[in-house]
Every structure is written in C-alpha cells, then in structure tokens.
C-alpha cells in the first residue's frame, strides 16, 4: 500500500503554489509521523505564466533546500499536455528532468493526462524508467467512459513499464460502486499496481478511496484538509487513520493536527476549499469543479448566478473547464456590435424608471406603483425582476448569455418585449427564447468606454445595468430614475465596480441625468420616491 500526500501540488491551485519554507518543513515532519509514504511536492513544468511559488516548478535545487525526513519518497507531477505539445517529447523531458534519478532528489514522477493525450504521452514512461525514476500515470476524467474504452486504455498501458496506473474521479461524480466497476474493467487488462485520486464534490472522496482499497488498489492519494482544486480531495488526516488501521501499525497524528491548527485551517477559512451544495451539483452533473471555484472567488456572481451557470453547463456540457465559457458575457461582445432596433421610438424625451434586482423595489412597491400610475414613466426592468405589478412594466432588458439561457423559460412567460443584443447571441440562447418579442440592440464591451449609437452601444462591461443605461441614452431619454439598486456591504468589491461604472457613465459627454429613488450605497445622486 502506497499512501501519497499531494497537498503542495493539488493545494497550489488556491495559493499559486506559494507555500512558505516553515510550512513545508512542518508539513514534511507531519507526513513522516502520520505514516505517509510519498510526498508530491508540486508540479514540474516548462510554463512560466504569472507569479507562481516554488511548488509550481519543484526544481531539484528547491527540493535540495528542504530537509526531507528519512523514509519519505519525493515525487513531482507533470501535466501530460506538456509532453504532447509543440515541443518534442524527448526534448521536453530532457528540460524537465536534466538529471537521472540517481543524481536527483526526485524519486517518483507522475504524469497526469486526459484520455485523448494518453497514447501519445505513454512513451515518456520508458524514457523516465531508463533514467531510474519510478513512474505513475494519472488518467483523468474516466468516470464517464464505457467499459470498452476503459479496457482499451488499460491495453495501451500494458505495453509500458509504469509502476502504477491511476485513475482520477476528476468531476467528483463517482460512487463507490462506480469506482469498483472501473477498477474491474481496468483489471481485465492491466495486472500491475493501480491507484485512485478522488474528489469530494459529493462528500464521497474517502468512501471511494476505501472501496478502491477493498477492490485491490494499492496506491492512494489525499491532501491535508482535502486542500485541492475545487471541492478538494480525500483528507489525509482521515485517510492516514484508516491506512494505519489496515496496516496494523499506529500513526502519530499529533504533528499533523498541529499543522492543521496553525496553517491549514486558517488557509481554508481564507480560500474556502471543501465541498458545498454548488460543488455537489457540479459533481452530480459532471461539471468541471474549476467553474465553481472561479465563481465562488468572484464576488460578482450571486447565488442566483452560480446556480444559473450550473444549470446552463448541465444542459450544454461542462466537462472541460474553459474560462471563456464561464466568462462568456465579459468576452462575448468583443466584435463589431450588431443591432436592428432603435430605442428612440420608445425612449425619446421620456423619463425612464429602471428597476434593479435589489430588495428596495419590493420594500417601496406601493410608492413606486403610485408614481408610475400618476407620472407614466417608461418602466424598464432588469432581467426577470418582478417585484411590482407586471402590467406597470413596459420593457425588460438582459444581455448576459448564460443568465439569459437560465432565465429563458421565465422570459418566454413574461409579457413584456425584451431588449437584448439578439443578433449577437449564441444560437442556443436565441433558440431558447423561441417566439419571444425581442428588440435587437447591439452591444460591444470595451474597457473604460461608453458610446451610444442608434441601434447599438459600447459599454465598459456586460453588466446589464451598463447596457440598460446605454439603451436609455441611445434612446435620448430625459432622465433615468433608479430603484432597487441597494448595493452591498461597505467592503464588497461589487460596490467598487458599480461606483466605477456609474462614474464612467456620468463622465460620458452625452449621458443623461441619473437619480436613485430608493436607498442605495452607490455614489449616485439620490431623491426619495415618496417626494417625487
């Protein structure tokens, strides 16, 4: 049984692999005491993009600066895509591992690769073995592969002298029975040692690992507090207890518990790894956990937004993480803006009441409805805001493709025409709107810019409030009254972003006067709806 702790490698997705020497030395001593066999100290890579700490590169020189306790094997991981890319494999390997194992502090090299990279990456096993390294291969995203596909992968592996063939539950979607099934499929062709790397979306990382051990797997991974990409992994502090029991040999957990208290629990409170209902849904629907991690670390995504994105990815497929997919709205409207509808026909010379999604609309509903009935402003609602009488809302406005897709059912039921950059939207979003009456007003997103043309606009962000202000301005409204723009807590970055947006709008040469008429934390002129 080989117990690998890969905290400094997998956990680095949260802190850019920048662990302090003090933490690392305390960690190494704790791992030895807890009965861990191998410490995977980080990645080894040729890529150098943005600042990353020493465990992103884990050079021989860095490892030699550490005091490695007796009995601990040192490992590093290489991403398979670096071995099948533009640089020829032998050249990449020579640059990654310039010395043979006898002259290097690294004993174990693991290669992590996707199924489509596996065959091309496999010759690296022979190269590394010839230089004296132990070699493990971690196959990612095999949970949704068929029996024939898994057996074919095992047959490919059989031709190479690797020390362990691993599979990873990359989406955290596996049950213990599924893990057992995949092991049996591999076993029909692959007779060498097997390993498993589990993720904790569904809270099953430890259960899946223990079931794999029962099924004959002998290499297992874990991280301290589960620190790892997305919801994290099986927890070393729990697995070490189980391994010690299976070995019939007690482990000294005291140094590990001190390490938890002094370093990892404060880090976990700061970075927030560990499973939660969002990761659970991602695991259930086979969605890459990095989508969730990115959204949870970006305060602009509300609970509603995160759930909307998960629903979109459930329908569209989210197995491969792409920041472009997640950030579709921010990067979507980069091309030449296209639109066919001019807002002047509805907005020219009129006062616009813009309804945001904050609680201020519902709280001051009576006063807002009275004002609408008495003064007949053009009422424009963001997205699916429906806290006031639907008959009083004239138009709706929306522009975030993922949000639109999530809201399409609601939009098709709501009676008001929808202003949106319709001809610029992805086909799936256009299709989802069906027979909805849409007013096609184009949008181009360009940092620090507001420009207003007859059938399109340029805005600094794809936030719907920026788009709505641009629509009203292009339409030559007389002024915009804003209700339901309550804002957030004092130090919330969403406030700062909104303040910058409003300041940019107000500095635009042809902007119209903007007044908040319900309570707001934003820096904006304010009047009371009760005194209008």
What is the mean predicted confidence (pLDDT) over 224-249? 94
Element (H, E) at 440: strand 438-440
Bridge-based pairing state of the strands 514-516 and 479-483: parallel
In this structure, are 90 and 141 located in the same domain? Answer: yes
pLDDT at 317: 66
**Is residue 170 very low, low, confident or very high in pLDDT (cuts 50, 70, 90)?**
confident
The CATH code of the domain that includes 205 is 3.20.20.70
The domain tally of the chain equals: 3
175 and 281 inside one domain:
no
Q: Residue 418's pLDDT band (boundaries 50, 70, 90)?
A: very high
Whether residues 199 and 57 fall in one domain: yes
Please tell me whether residues 252 and 320 are part of one structural domain: no
pLDDT (mean) for 143-148: 90
50 lies in a domain? yes
**Any domain includes 90:** yes
Q: 290-302, pLDDT tens digit by residue?
A: 778 777 776 667 7
pLDDT at residue 325, as a whole number: 53
Share of the chain above pLDDT 70, in %: 95
In a domain, 524, yes or no: no
Tell me if 149 is assigned to some domain.
yes
Average pLDDT over residues 457-483: 94
Whole-number percent of the chain with pLDDT over 90: 72
Look at residue 136 and tell me if it is in a domain.
yes
Q: What is the pLDDT of residue 235?
A: 96
Question: Where residue 285 falls among pLDDT bands split at 50, 70, 90?
Answer: confident
Q: How far apart are CA 457 and CA 470, in angstroms?
A: 6
Residues 314 and 349 in one domain: no
pLDDT band at 408 (very low <50, low <70, confident <90, very high): confident
Q: What is the mean pLDDT of the chain?
A: 91
Res 425: pLDDT: 83
Contacts of 66 (CB under 8 A, 6+ apart): 21, 24, 25, 28, 41
Q: Which domain does 476 fall in, by range?
A: 343-516
Residue 284 and residue 222 share a domain: no
| Residue 338, in any domain of the structure | no
Residue 327 scores a pLDDT above 60: no
* 220 closest CA partner among 288, 164, 273: 164
Indicate which CATH number applies to the domain containing 417.
3.40.50
C-beta neighbour count of 526 within 10 angstroms: 13
Residue 521 in any domain: the answer is no
Q: Are residues 376 and 304 in the same domain?
A: no
Mean pLDDT, residues 302-311 taken together? 77
Provide the pLDDT for residue 97: 98
Q: Is 531 within the bounds of a domain? A: no
Prediction pTM value: 0.65
Q: Which of 208-222, 437-451, 476-490 tops mean pLDDT?
A: 208-222
Predicted confidence at residue 507, as pLDDT, reads 92
pLDDT-derived band of residue 27, with 50, 70 and 90 as boundaries? very high
Q: Answer yes or no: is pLDDT of 332 > 70.
A: no
Mean pLDDT of all residues in 229-256: 93
> Quick check: 5 and 224 in contact, CB under 8 A?
yes
| 383 and 282 assigned to the same domain | no
Q: Are residues 7 and 148 in the same domain?
A: yes
Which is nearest to 414 in space by CA: 441, 440, 443, 382? 382
Same domain, residue pair 383 and 454: yes
| Confidence label for 337 from pLDDT (cuts 50, 70 and 90) | confident
pLDDT at 233 over 60: yes
Task: Write down the pLDDT at residue 230.
Answer: 82
Give the residue-averaged pLDDT of 272-279.
Answer: 84
pLDDT(153) > 50? yes
Q: Residue 281: which pLDDT band, with cuts at 50, 70 and 90?
A: confident
- For position 330, what pLDDT does the model report? 47
When mean pLDDT is compared across 324-333, 356-365, 440-449, the lowest value belongs to 324-333
Same domain as 284, residue 265: no
Q: Does residue 306 register a pLDDT over 90?
A: no
Distances (CA, A) of 67 to 24, 74, 127, 331, 424: 9, 11, 28, 46, 58
Q: Does 150 lie in the same domain as 34?
A: yes
Predicted confidence at residue 161, as pLDDT, reads: 96
């Amino acid at each position: 049984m080989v117990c690998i702790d890969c905290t400094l490698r997998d956990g680095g997705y949260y802190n850019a692999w920048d662990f302090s020497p003090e933490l690392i030395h305390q960690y190494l001593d704790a791992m030895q005491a807890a009965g861990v066999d191998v410490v995977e100290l980080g990645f080894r890579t040729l890529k150098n993009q943005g600042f990353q700490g020493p465990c992103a590169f884990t050079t021989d020189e860095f490892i030699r600066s550490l005091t490695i306790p007796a009995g601990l094997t040192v490992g590093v991981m290489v991403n398979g895509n670096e071995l099948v890319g533009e640089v020829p494999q032998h050249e990449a390997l020579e640059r990654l591992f310039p010395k043979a194992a006898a002259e290097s502090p690294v004993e174990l090299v693991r290669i992590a690769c996707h199924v489509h990279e596996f065959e091309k990456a496999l010759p690296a096993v022979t190269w590394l073995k010839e230089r004296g390294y132990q070699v493990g291969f971690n196959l990612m995203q095999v949970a949704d592969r068929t029996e024939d596909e898994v057996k074919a992968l095992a047959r490919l592996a059989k031709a190479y002298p690797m020390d362990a063939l691993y599979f990873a539950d990359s989406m955290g979607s596996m049950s213990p029975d599924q893990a057992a099934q995949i092991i049996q499929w591999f076993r029909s062709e692959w007779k060498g040692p097997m390993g498993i790397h589990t993720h904790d979306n569904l809270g099953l990382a430890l259960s899946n690992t223990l079931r794999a051990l029962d099924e004959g797997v002998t290499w297992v991974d874990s991280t301290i507090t589960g620190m790892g990409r997305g919801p994290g992994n099986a927890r070393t502090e729990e697995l070490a207890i189980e391994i010690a029991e299976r070995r019939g040999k007690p482990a000294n957990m005291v140094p590990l518990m001190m390490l938890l208290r002094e370093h990892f629990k404060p880090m976990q409170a700061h970075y927030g790894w560990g499973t939660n209902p969002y990761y659970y849904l991602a695991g259930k629907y086979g969605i890459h956990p990095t989508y969730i991690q990115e959204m949870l670390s970006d305060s602009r995504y509300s609970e509603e937004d995160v759930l909307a994105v998960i629903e979109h990815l459930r329908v569209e497929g989210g197995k491969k993480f792409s920041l472009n997919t997640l950030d579709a709205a921010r990067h979507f409207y980069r091309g030449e803006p296209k639109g066919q509808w001019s807002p002047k026909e509805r907005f020219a010379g009129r006062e616009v009441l813009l309804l945001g999604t904050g609680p201020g609309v519902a709280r001051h509903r009576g006063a807002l409805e009275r004002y609408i009935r008495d003064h007949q402003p053009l009422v424009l609602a963001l997205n699916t805001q429906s806290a006031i009488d639907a008959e009083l809302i004239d138009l709706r406005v929306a522009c975030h493709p993922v949000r639109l897709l999530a809201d399409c059912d609601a939009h098709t039921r709501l009676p008001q025409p929808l202003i949106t950059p319709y001809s610029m939207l992805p086909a799936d979003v256009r299709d989802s709107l069906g027979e909805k009456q849409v007013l096609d007003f184009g949008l181009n997103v360009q940092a620090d810019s507001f420009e207003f043309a007859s059938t399109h606009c340029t805005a600094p962000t794809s936030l719907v409030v920026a788009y709505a202000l641009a629509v009203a301005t292009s339409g030559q409204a007389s002024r915009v009254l804003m209700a339901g723009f309550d804002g957030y807590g004092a130090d919330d970055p969403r406030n700062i972003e909104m303040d910058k947006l409003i300041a940019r709008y107000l500095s635009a040469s042809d902007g119209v006067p903007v007044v908040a008429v319900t309570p707001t934390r934003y820096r904006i002129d304010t009047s009371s709806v009760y005194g209008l």
